[in-house]
Structures are given as structure tokens and as C-alpha cells.
Chain A
Amino acid sequence: MPPAPLLALHQLVKNYGGVRALRGVDFNLHAGEVHALLGENGAGKSTLIKVVTGAHQPNGGTITLAGQCVADLTPATARALGIACIYQQPALFPDLTVAENLALRLESTSAASRIDWAARRARAKELLARIGAEISPEAEVSSLSMPEQQLVEIACALGSGARIVIMDEPTASLTQKEQHLLFAVVRDLRKNGVGVIYISHRLEEIFALADRVTVLRDGQSVGTHAVSDIDEAGLIRLMVGREVAQIYPAAESAPGHAVALSLRDVGCHVSGVRNVSFEVRAGEIFGLGGLVGAGRTELARILFGLTPADSGEITLHGQPLTLRSPQDAVAHGIAYVPEDRRRHGVVLALPIAHNMTMAIHRRFFPTTWLRFGAERTLALDFIRDLAVKCSGPDAPGSSLSGGNQQKVSLARWLATKPKLLILDEPTQGVDVGAKSEIHKIVRRLAKEGLAVILISSDLPEVIGMSDRIGVMGGGTLRAILPGGSDPHDVMAAALGTTGKSAA
């Protein structure tokens, strides 16, 4: 009988309102093991982390730590039990020094006790040295780069004597050299008997680093394998789980030949976008793929006038555009359904109807007087048209599920009768049913002649939905591939390698 695993999850269930984020997940982690967690966006990885770190309470199932069943896990007890999590975005205090940040997490002193600055510095130095980070304990966190901040987080996890370290896409913003440093740290942790849950979208990292890999899909674990027993193709099959062609509505007609949007050498210094050139035809869905931070949202913000371009030319239906503000973009018929729908897409406290007319104030209320009846009719039309599940046009945005909020955000922009629709991660965090409904709507819009730019980190989605796929990386367009391309080619282009498709 092997020793009890460090962490065992049994039939874990977590619901958010009507959305079932986890529907019975089994997972276990042994001491001295790197266990990779893999899955599409929205497969339940983040939810799983939130439950394990005590941030959210599960609705069912058990969590067992070193053979002990724990109920009512809170962030504080999780930390006390030796669970540490390193998030994509380090959560450090930017105005404090590295040593102070470490002290805040690690020291437990009363308000009256004196601070031993020398010991504090020494400890910070020792922890940083252990992970081979060349960072001064005296440096203010705000002066550190993102990867350096991540290293501080790791030092923190080490210092707290964590037995379970969770890393959520730690390499997303790292350079090659920093990645190697990080890998060395992870291997060191493993050697010292720490269990590491390693979340990454980068398959080659998983093969380089992990001992076992568990694939999540739609809130369920669909398989745990030793990495030596499985190859990339096998993992992708597990992640996707179905043939791409089956789940995405097929294009019913080829896009027209009229060029709608044309970009030539577009760049923006502030947001790091440079030399982007492509064309989108009327009726075409142009996918934008790439890794997080590739510059896709930044490009969308340029097109919507949020961060104006400082070089290059943008033309829409032959007309050169100057886009200095969202009002400019709206006036020219550009619509942008943003990535962060809760902050930017829908005003949660306002009724659905208000949200839907928000971008058409000028056209819909030409005298500036509100027309409540007409607004209600318009909202009811969209609610029916897009099948928004809600109690009525007066229901606040906050009463809707994620998918329905997304439909409201979409309706707001369809109401502007746009010429170009930019969708930024339209199905992120949306349940499977609403997701396929949104796909059908987008297809229909393209068929009606709308030019669509679809930004998605969901590889099968961008491949299955797009007529052509522009792959971005490092702020620029790396390749344009045909729709339905091999996921490996898209991934290879995103990574900037010439990796061939693995059989």
C-alpha cells in the first residue's frame, strides 16, 4: 500500500448559480510529484484551484489532505495546511520591498513586537538564493519585472514551508531563460518532496516537467496519465474530446470578395503592437489566435479607439479611419464585445434594456429624450432573437448567467448595426450550451455579410469557427492560416517555432 497522497479530491462539485463548473472531479497528488493539469479555457482548472486554496467552498465531494478529510477549507486554513498558490498575476504589494512582502506573508508578530530588519533581510536573501533568483531583498516590488515578481511569489511559497504548490500558468509571461530557471526551481521543489500542481497550456512544458497529467473537460476529469504513457496528440484528443467539425456550425457560404477592414503596418507604441497587416472581407470570420499576452486584445483596443494607433493605416470599406476614441469607432460602425464582460461588457447593476441601448443613445434617442416603450420593444426583440434567458428587459445584468450576459453584450453591439464586429473571448467562462448558441449567432451574422474578428484562446474554437486564422505573438501577426488548420500548426506559429505537427 503506497503512502496516502498529499492531496486527494473525490467527486468534487462546484456550481456557480446555474453553471456547473466542476461536476465530479477526481484528482490526487503525491509528495515529490509534478502533476500537470490541462484543459481548455473554462474546463474548470481555475475553479479547481479556488476550491483547493479555500477561496471557494465546494458544493459536494471531499478534499483529503495527507489522509485527513478537511471540510470548510478557508484561505487561512489552506495556507496553514501547507497549500501555496502562485497565480498568473503576482499579488504582491508594489510599494513595499521584496523583504517586506515576504515578511508580510511569513512573519506572524503582534503589533507591539519589534521588527528585526536584519533577520528579515537575511531570510529574504536566503529564500531568493534557494531558487537562484538574482533579486535584491531591498528592491521595491514595483521595480521588478513580472517574472521576477513570480519568483518572489515562489520564494514566499518556499518560505512558508508549503507541501503543495500550485502554479497557474507560471510561464505565460516568462522569457526562455526565465523559464529554464523556473523549471529548475520546480525540479528542486520536487526533489524536496513538495507536490506541485502545474497548470499550463504549453504541452511541451508538461512533457519536460511533469510526472503525471490530468485532463479536465467541461468540469470533469477525463483521464490521468503518466506523461511517459501519452503523447501530444493523445492529450489534445482528451482535451477536445470530439471532432472539431462536429461541434462548430459549418460555414454555409463562402465570404464575399469585398474587403471590409484593411490594416497596413498598424502599430501602437504604448500597447506594444507593431506592424500588423491583414484584411477581413465582408462576411468573413477572421480568427485571432495566440497565447495570452500575444497582443490580440491590444490590437482590438486599437481598432476600437481605446489605445489609438500611432503608425500604419486602417481602412473600412475603402474609407481611411482615424480612431482616437471609442466614439470614433462606433461612429464608423466598429463594434467591440470586450473580453471582461463583467467590467466592460455589461453594466451589471443596470437593466438588460438599458445595457442593450447603451451604444446607440444618439441614434435610438435622437432628441435625447428616452423612449421607454421603444427601448423595451428593442430589448424584447433581442431577448427573443438571441434567446437570452432572463426574467424580462428590466432584470439587472447581474441576475444573468455568464453566457446570457455575453448575449446582452453582443446585443448591445448588434443594435449599432456594425460593419465590423470584434469579439474578444466571447465564450470564455460560458457554459457549453450557451457557447454553441453564441457560435451559431456569430455564424449567422457572418452569413448576413458582417465582417467578424474573433479573438479566442480556445484553440478548437478559433480553428473551428474561423474562415482564416491570424496567429499573433509578441505584439505582431506571425502567420495567417486557413480555417480548420491543424491545432499544432496554430500553436507552433503562436510560439514562433516551426514545430511540425506531431503525429
Chain B
Amino acid sequence: MLLLYVLLAEWLFFYVAGTTTNRRGVIVGFGTLDRQFDILRHSCEIGLLALALTPVIITAGIDLSIGSLLGLCAILFGKLWHDGGLPIPAAAGLTLVLGAVAGGLNATLITALRLPPLIVTLGTYSLFRGLAEAITHGSITYTDFPESFLFVGQERLLGLPTQAWIFFAVALAVGLLVHRTTFGRAFRTIGLAPEGARYAGLPVGRRLALVYVLAGLIAAIAAIIYTARLGQAKADAGTGYELFAITAVVLGGTSIFGGTGSIPGTLLGVAAIAVLKNGLACLPVVMAMNAAEEMSGLLTGALLLLALTASVLPKILSNFRASRHAPAT
């Protein structure tokens, strides 16, 4: 709930401070509808990764590899279409399968070999990026995609950026999975008490495997949208996205220790980061200093730390009061 107010305040601030009129009397900057759509368009990929990560983090796991997997999937998609001669839908379909398979690699290492997710995905983080670079020899970029494909990333459908519809569809699907099915129940239980879940007869290994495979699948979706938005598939696609996605998830109230978290929260977290990043770029001061990137990194970090502090503050305060008013024995 707190985050919703933060988001509103943030948005209002940029609306006031980031909207200006140019010499010809046209409104430019944050307050324009075009800019708002732009924010939405740019948050789809990180948003998808955040959606992929929410179930993972609810099980008390982590997936650092999804940003790299985005890059690998973008390259695979480009190669399948460009070098493999597959039609776009077939290439996209195959890319989704490959993304799920890559997630399956994480899942296998984590559930079958019982290795810690942090280490496993740190390994595949390098592995996937390395594969992408090996395939392209670090130089090839796939371009010249057909107009019909670029429509997904650059045009509007029913008034909204096309990819936003995909993003919302995935959000709905993951939201239902997490909040309305026994799968989500199992994710939470595993996050809170992995041993307890086992003693309740829950298929802990299979459920854990599912969240990582799903993460791989969603990363592949994000890769295709990324390629369509930029019109090119390159090996460094999505570099560092996993950290923004983790930030959005944690900002959205999902506990990094597992057990609690929600998809609406993650969506708010994604929005809070996207608005901050884009809003800063509209501020005259920041534009004058040409420091939008640096400022957004700094403020995103500050926002995260503030949100974390705010979430534990009530508990600390009540503990403090309790210790001061403890009856003498």
C-alpha cells in the first residue's frame, strides 16, 4: 500500500517538475501521453523479468541468469530466423522452448543436485551470456526484421503499445498461478518451510523446478519483445536487467527470504522504477547535467533501501517499546 502512495507522489512530482512547454507552445516532457506510453513500452522487458522472478523469490530462491538468458534467447531467435530460415512465428515458438530448456538447466542443478540457487544461477548468468557471445563471435547483430514483427515492439494495438498487451497477459497468468492455484500455495510453503513442505507431502522438487522453467520461458518472451522494440538482436541484450528486476520485486513487497510476495506488488515495483528512471530524464536540471543514467541508478537504490527500512521499521519500533516497558522481574 505504501508503495502505491510512493508511486503516486513520484508520478505527480515528475508531472509537475518534468513537464515544460517548448518555444512553439507545445507541451513536452513527462506530462505527455506519448511519454507515458514510452514508459510502458520500456518497462515491458524488465517487467516480464520481474514477473518471472516473483515466484522464484517466493520460494526463497533467486535467478540471476534471466538477464543473460534474455540476451541468449534474442540471439537464438535472430539466428533461427536469419540463418535458419524459419518464419518468425516458428522461430519465436522455438525460442520459447529453448528459454524453458535453459530454465530447466537451472531447475535440474537446483533440485536434483540440491545446489544453492544463488550459485547455480550465478554460473548460468555467465554461461548464457558467454554462449550468446560465442554464437555471434561478439560482433554479429541480427537486423532487418520484417515490419510485421517490428509492430510488436514499436507500434500500438488498440491504443496501447503492442507489447504491453503481452506483458499484461503474462502478468495475469502469473498472478493467477501465484494467487489462485495450489501451485502458488506450494511456492509460499516451500519459501517459508522447505522441510515442512516435504513433510506435508508436497512435491517440493517439482514445484521448484516449475518456477525456474517458467522464469526461462518468460525471459524468452522478454527477449522476443526486446528484439522487436530495438529491431535488432544482439548478444548484450538485457545486460544488468536481472538486478532491476530483483529491485522491482523486492520493492513490491516480496520477501527476499521467501514465503511472501504478490504480483500486484511486483507490478507497482516495476512502475515505480520505470517512472523514476524516465521522469528523471525529463527534469531540466538532470538534462542540463546530462546525468539521467547516474541519477536513476542512485535514486533507484535509495528507493529500495527506503522501502526495505520502512517495511521493518514498525517491528523494530514495537520491539524497542516492548523492551523499554518490560515489567521488572
Interface residues of A (CB under 8 A from B): 57-60, 71-72, 304, 306, 326-327, 329-330, 336, 338, 343-350, 354, 358-359, 361-362, 365, 368-370, 412
Contact = CB atoms under 8 A, between A and B. Distances in A.
A58 B195 contact: no
Which residue, B198, B199, B329, has most C-beta atoms of chain A within 10 A?
B199
B196 interface: yes
A166 to B, nearest CB: 21
A344 B329 contact: no
B202 A344 contact: no
Interface residues of B, number: 22
A60 B198 CA distance: 41
A347 B200 CA distance: 10
A350 B188 contact: yes
B189 interface: yes
B189 A358 contact: yes
A365 B182 contact: yes
A349 B192 contact: yes
B180 A369 contact: yes
A330 B203 CA distance: 11
B201 interface: yes
Interface string B195-211: 11111111100000000
Contacts of B180: 369-370
Contact of B200 (A72, A359, A362): A359
A267 B117 CA distance: 34
Contacts of A57: 329
Interface in B258-301: 259-260
A345 B200 CA distance: 8
Nearest to A344: B199
B193 interface: yes
B75 interface: no
B198 A361 contact: no
B139 interface: no
B112 to A, nearest CB: 14
A329 B202 CA distance: 11
Contact of B193 (A336, A343, A359, A365): A343
B196 A369 contact: no
B183 A346 contact: no
Interface of B: 180-183, 185-186, 188-189, 192-193, 195-203, 259-260, 329
B198 A306 contact: yes
Nearest to B182: A361
B201 A368 contact: no
Contact of A326 (B181, B193, B201, B260): B201
A348 B188 CA distance: 12
A368 B181 contact: yes
B256 to A, nearest CB: 15
A370 B182 CA distance: 6
A354 B200 contact: no
Contacts of A338: 199
Contacts of B329: 57-60, 71-72
Closest 8 CB pairs of A and B: A330-B201, A344-B199, A358-B200, A361-B182, A326-B201, A368-B181, A347-B193, A347-B196
A269 B192 CA distance: 31
Given A57-B329, A349-B259, A369-B180, A354 B185 contact: yes
A406 to B, nearest CB: 14
A326 B195 contact: no
B183 A368 contact: yes
Contacts of A369: 180-181
B245 to A, nearest CB: 25
Contacts of B198: 306, 326
B196 A344 contact: yes
Contacts of A362: 182
A349 B260 CA distance: 10
Contacts of A58: 329
Contacts of A412: 200
Nearest to B205: A325
A368 to B, nearest CB: 5
Contacts of B201: 326-327, 329-330, 358-359
Nearest to A357: B185
B195 A343 contact: yes
A361 to B, nearest CB: 4
A89 B247 CA distance: 41
Given A327-B201, A343-B196, A361-B202, A350 B189 contact: yes
Contact of B192 (A336, A345, A347): A347
